[in-house]
Amino acid sequence: MSSEALRHVAIIMDGNNRWAKREGKQGILGHRAGVERIRDVLEVCRKNHVEVLTVFAFSSENWRRPPKEVEALMGLFYSYLKREARRLAEERVRLKVIGNRSRFSESLLRAIEEAEATACVGDSTLVIAADYGGQWDVAQSARKLAEEVVEGRLSLDEVDASAIDRHMSTQDLPPLDLLVRTGGEFRISNFLLWQAAYAELYFSPLLWPEFDGVAMEEAIADFYQRQRRFGRTGDQLAQGTFSA
């Protein structure tokens, strides 16, 4: 069983449209129902001393969806930021938005900046990944490192994993421990590719609007039943015969 404290949980919130279709509702109502689950899951994470919850709200590939759905999702994101920032601040939850912001409207950019400024200090952190892709994240880190090399601020010998990590969008957060995906799919869909290198993966058959606090508790309990070896053997961990 894991003796490592669970500090950072990330969730691919999949199944909103399928839930809405099953319930005979419009797709956007599934996304609205899904927004409510964030509050429940965040509460459970905080109760279990999880420092960071990162949720995959909108991927780089989601721009390919029908324009009306994209517009509705952007509106839902905007209203969430406006509605939740003050509550998060009152509950001492820091808000951080990661992703490529170049395609957002000016009004949404202002809402993001205002929300981050309002909920800027806390005992825990809610990270919203919007217009985010794992490949984009690695590429933008590599680009920043290349600029440092070209400008003479970094040598090629200094380009290593820690240098890449320093420029990732999650560089100020603890390492990812647990990656959860709802909806019954078994893939990570270009989410936190670099960060998930040693994360535990947990796949739930529940559609995201069904994934409540009880389901989150079960995912956390499952994490603590696993043995995290990080390249070592189980015997080494049991005997403590390894160096840091």
Q: Point out the residues that are catalytic.
A: 14, 62
Cα–Cα distance for residue pair 100/167, rounded to 1 Å: 14
Contact 28, 65 (CB under 8 A): no
Its sign, for the CA torsion 49, 51, 104, 183, is negative
Name the β-bridge partners of 127: 54, 96
Residue 32 structure tokens: 């609205």
Cα–Cα distance for residue pair 58/42, rounded to 1 Å: 18
Cα–Cα distance for residue pair 32/9, rounded to 1 Å: 22
Task: Name the nearest CA neighbour of 93 among 115, 117, 57, 120.
Answer: 120
Cα–Cα distance for residue pair 52/173, rounded to 1 Å: 8
